[in-house]
Structure 1
């Protein structure tokens, strides 16, 4: 496998991960995305699960990006390993900001609990 083929495979992995994550965030189904993007359910399934990775028309990725509420070029940036910018509305959305803050706090709490568990385990071993 050449470097270009490997990078391309990794790019499609990133696209699939982005689609799965966004569908989970928005609670959209494959059928919802297919309908909004005006693409076949098979195409959405292939992209979401990185089945049959191959070159796609730019319009396909743009349609899926739009259907998921992203700027049209979002998934193209993901495919090429670039850091896409979030949609303008997402940047200013107070609910999304609050969710991000909660996610960070939850991760901090998980880290603290894990640290406490390690300390307790270490104390148990010394007894």
Structure 2
């Protein structure tokens, strides 16, 4: 089975953006050398790496230890954040804010039509 290092690089880069994480922070959290982190994240020298290396990166990114190994193997690991109750609550809060913002904008439009300034 072919190993998909490009998919690993994409997964790491996407997750780092989600977490607003820099390479230096990923290096610190994973305990890996910065050169190793850079090579894997940027897919500079695709070569066999140990499961431990990918597990360290997965853990540092807040994923289950086998997440990047599954990505490398072409297995869809799914969304590990799917059942996170904090993310569900955040989604609900964002929805409520959107509803409130829409209501305020509608009130402002009605006031503007009536010749009043908000």
Normalised by the length of structure 2, the TM-score is: 0.70
Gaps in structure 2 of 5+ consecutive residues: 96-118
Paired residue for 1:65, among 58, 61, 66? 58
Higher-RCO chain (CA-CA 8 Å, sequence separation at least 6): 2
Deviations 1:27-67 (A, max 9, x none): 01101111010001111101110010000011000000000
Larger Rg: 2
Point out where structure 1 has 5 or more consecutive residues left out of the alignment.
103-127
Q: Which position in structure 2 is the counterpart of 1:18?
A: 11
CA distance in 1, matches of 2:85, 2:38: 29
- Name whichever structure is richer in helix by fraction: 1
Alignment of 1:92 with 2:93, yes or no, is no
Alignment correspondent of 2:98: none
Match of 2:28 in 1: 35
